[in-house]
Amino acid sequence: MKRKSSIIIGLLLMLPFSLVLRANELPDLGDVSATVLSPLQERAIAEQILRQVAVSEDVLRDAEVTDYLQTLGARLVENGPDKRQKFNFFVVQDASINAFAMPGGVIGVHTGLMLAANSESELASVLGHEIGHVTQRHLARMLASQKYDTFKNLAGVALALLVARSNPQLATGALTTASAIGVQNQLDYTREHEREADRIGLQILDSGGFDVRAMPQFFSTLQRSSRFYEGTAPSFLRTHPLTTERIADVANRVQTMHYKQVPDSIEFQLVRAKLRALQGGAQSAIDLFEQGIRERRYMSEAAEHYGLAVALLRKGAYAQVAQELAWLKQNAPPHAMIENLNVRLAVQQNNPQQAALQYQAALKVYPASRALIYGYAEHFLAMRQANEAEALLKSKLDLYADDAYLYDLLAKAYAIQNKNLLSHQAQGESYYRKYDLARAIEQMDLASKAGDGDFYQKSIVEARLKELRRMMGETKKAKFWE
């Protein structure tokens, strides 16, 4: 908590240097026509939040966990009422049980909530609920209906939202600023908002092929846990008021819906096992997995062995990791996460030739695995095989055009080859995908002045630099900026 507090406080101290929100453009409480933020305003707030997310040490940088959440979220969005709304899902490395939605379709989920969910449908029920808040624009309406005396700039609104929603305990603590406190006090969801999000969430669950009973089950679990730990209720309950009447209302709605028994996906089980394996000390995790296997207390035996292998790898018990991987290959369904763990073992054992062969073979079977792509590119760079890294990364950009880390790796590959124009260009594209236009322009400007590159490359950089500057100008001219 101390590290998180210092990070957030440091970010808040930088806010006065941000662009300022025009006072005369803020909605008046008495102005009925200004009861909701415009889509442009929502997106601007979302991009400010995503800019902080891109650099936050509290956001989990694990391609497998993140890709799972984003895939699950996309499946739910496809079955939601607003398919035009863009959504961004990210994972917060925090043991508290929490999930939160913000304007512009930004949704964060704590690792603690992913572990607390007893089934994939329970996790999906929370995401569906948060998607409901976004599609009904609850936060946007609450923000627009407030007097913004506390919020001096757009970045202040965005970051205060991020603090208040991701960590309600910190937002009400003595160390944070008035902005976060103001957001938390003013933007708690009402019972009407919660009931509407529940209704939308249930519809999304049903259309997405999940078990609708999971929503009242998970809410009941959260409510029971808050009784046992008085004063330390799950964070989700602090921003989402939960009552017996609300649970009963959801349960009654479920009774009228079609019953379906839905098994968990192997991805859900493996991701949860991985998160458990990365918690606390390695030996403690090993002991828990070994006990679960010994006593047959698990939802998925394959996931339990996978989690044990991850924990053993943390400890450096390579022979035991190999044993668990052999069991998985014999008994578990083939999966990219298992193959990635197999390659990581070769990397940890300092066997680069074996790792390269395994990466190559695994990517033939799982060409879209982001974790394998990252790992293989990092392997090439570690071996100073920049040409191979460049070829791999460029071949995958069509799959993941908005992936900032792919451009980070590509910039490193170009730098090793002394291709300065291309290195700055790739770094600029990375910053652009991190919603940092100023740094993107700076890197693209350096690319234009690099002194190398052919006419075609220079023309592309100059055109892109012109485009980025135009985008920055339009942002500054938007009516909610000064």
Q: What are the tens digits of pLDDT across the range 274-299?
A: 999 999 999 999 999 999 999 999 99
Least confident of 62-76, 215-229, 318-332: 215-229
Q: Which domain holds residue 436?
A: 266-477
**Where among 255, 276, 304 does a domain terminate?**
255
Q: What is the CATH number of the domain that holds 445?
A: 1.25.40.10
Please tell me whether residue 91 adopts helix, strand or coil conformation: strand
Q: Residue 460: inside a domain, yes or no?
A: yes
Is 232 in the same domain as 276?
no
The string of pLDDT tens digits covering residues 91-133 is 999 898 889 888 899 999 999 999 999 999 999 999 999 999 9
Other beta carbons within 10 angstroms of residue 413's beta carbon come to: 25
Q: How many whole angstroms from its chain centre is CA 398? A: 21
pLDDT at 111: 95
Same domain membership, residue 315 and residue 195: no
What's residue 247's pLDDT? 86
The number of distinct structural domains making up the chain is 2
Q: Do residues 89 and 124 make contact, with C-beta atoms less than 8 angstroms apart?
A: no
443 and 331 share one domain: yes
Q: Is residue 356 part of a domain?
A: yes
Please check whether residues 243 and 365 belong to one and the same domain. Answer: no
- pLDDT for residue 222: 82
Q: Which residue has the higher pLDDT, 465 or 236?
A: 465
For residue 147, the 8-state DSSP code is -
pLDDT-derived band at 55 (thresholds 50, 70, 90) equals confident
Domain co-membership, 307 together with 342: yes
Strand order in the sheet with 106-110: 88-92, 106-110, 99-102
182-185, Cβ contacts within 8 angstroms, sequence gap of 24 or more: 182/150, 182/151, 183/157, 184/239
Query: Could you give the CA distance from residue 478 to residue 424 in angstroms, rounded to a whole number?
Result: 29
**pLDDT attached to residue 139:** 81
Residue 164 confidence (pLDDT): 63
Both 133 and 277 in one domain: the answer is no
Q: Is residue 100 part of a domain?
A: yes
What SS3 state is found at 448? helix
Q: Give residue 339's pLDDT band: very low, low, confident or very high (50, 70, 90).
A: very high
User: If you count them, how many residues does the chain have?
Assistant: 482
Last residue of a domain, one of 255, 283, 305: 255
Same domain for 194 and 327, yes or no, is no
Identify the weakest region by mean pLDDT among 178-187, 246-255, 411-420. 178-187
Looking at the fold, whether 344 and 405 belong to one and the same domain comes out as yes
Q: Residues 437-441: contacts with CB within 8 Å, 24+ apart?
A: 437/468, 437/471, 437/472, 437/475, 438/472, 440/468, 441/465, 441/468, 441/469, 441/472
Q: Is the pLDDT of residue 22 over 50?
A: no
What is the distance, to the nearest Å, from the Cα of residue 316 to the centroid of all Cα atoms in its chain? 29
Q: Which of 11-20, 91-100, 189-198, 266-275 has the highest mean pLDDT?
A: 266-275
Specify whether 233 is located in the same domain as 285. no
Encode 348-364 in three state secondary structure.
HCCCHHHHHHHHHHHHH
Among 215, 235, 255, the domain-final residue is 255
Per-residue pLDDT averaged across 179-193, rounded? Answer: 63
Q: What is the pLDDT of residue 187?
A: 57
